[in-house]
């Protein structure tokens, strides 16, 4: 069986635990991967902007982008916002538990890029956020 499509990834893709949109929310951010049309929106509720209390993602795309978004959201609930600012590429790859080529890496990192642009309060998400 192919590593890339481990059961855990297919499972999070088909039955995401955190898919949807929090309304009201304290923070929302969205971005797309223009190459493949993957789209992710993340909404967060925080405890006075200190700790993430609730989080959700919405959007569409390939299994890698959607599964990594679900895994990422799951992992940040209860985390201090300051800690989220420090998350990097390796963090997501560890969550996924797979190695990825450069093209699919963009799919995997889209959710982290969106999340970090959101918590930093940026106008636009940039690839530098997840390097």
Partner 1 sequence: MALDVARIRQDFPVLGRDVRPGVPLVYLDSTATSQKPSSVIVAMDQFYRRSNANIHRGVHTLAEEATAMYEAARTKIARFINAPSPRQVIYTRNTTESINLVAHTWARANLKSGDLVILTEMEHHSNLVPWYILAEERGIRLEFISVTEAGLLDLESYRTLLAQGPKLVSFAQMSNVLGTINPAEEIIRRAHEAGAVTLVDAAQSVPHFRVDVQALDADFLAFSAHKMCGPTGIGALYGRLDLLEGMPPFLGGGDMIREVHLRSFKPNVLPYKFEAGTPAIAEAVGFGAAVEYLAEVGMDDIAQHEHEVTEYALERLEEIPGVTVYGPGARQRGGVTSFTLDGIHPHDVAQILDRDGVAIRAGHHCAQPLHEKLGLPATSRASFYLYNTKDEVDKLVEGIYRAKETFA
Contacting residues toward partner 1, per CB under 8 A: 2, 4-5, 10, 13-14, 35-39, 60-64, 104, 107
Written as one string, the DSSP assignment of 9-66 is HHHHHHS-SSBS--SS-SEEEEEEETTTTEEEEEEEEEETTTEEEEEEEEEE--HHHH
Q: Which is nearer to partner 1, 61 or 118 (CB)?
A: 61
Query: What CA–CA distance (Å, rounded) separates 111 from 130?
Result: 10
User: Smallest gap, in angstroms, from Cβ of residue 9 to partner 1?
Assistant: 10
User: Smallest gap, in angstroms, from Cβ of residue 111 to partner 1?
Assistant: 15
User: Smallest gap, in angstroms, from Cβ of residue 100 to partner 1?
Assistant: 10
Q: Which is nearer to partner 1, 36 or 93 (CB)?
A: 36
Contact 89, 95 (CB under 8 A): no
Q: Which is nearer to partner 1, 42 or 98 (CB)?
A: 98
Q: Which is nearer to partner 1, 65 or 84 (CB)?
A: 65
Query: What CA–CA distance (Å, rounded) separates 45 from 28?
Result: 9
């Amino acid at each position: 069986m192919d590593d890339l499509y481990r059961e855990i990834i297919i499972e999070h893709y088909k039955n995401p635990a955190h898919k949807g949109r929090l309304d009201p929310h304290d923070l929302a951010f969205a971005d797309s991967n223009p190459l493949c049309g993957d789209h992710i929106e993340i909404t967060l509720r925080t405890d006075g902007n200190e700790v993430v209390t609730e989080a959700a993602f919405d959007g569409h795309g390939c299994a890698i982008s959607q599964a990594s978004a679900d895994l990422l959201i799951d992992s940040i609930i209860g985390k201090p916002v300051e800690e989220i600012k420090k998350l990097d590429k390796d963090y997501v790859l560890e969550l996924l538990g797979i190695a990825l080529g450069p093209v699919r890496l963009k799919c995997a990192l889209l959710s982290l890029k969106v999340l970090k642009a959101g918590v930093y309060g940026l106008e636009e998400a940039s690839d530098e956020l997840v390097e």
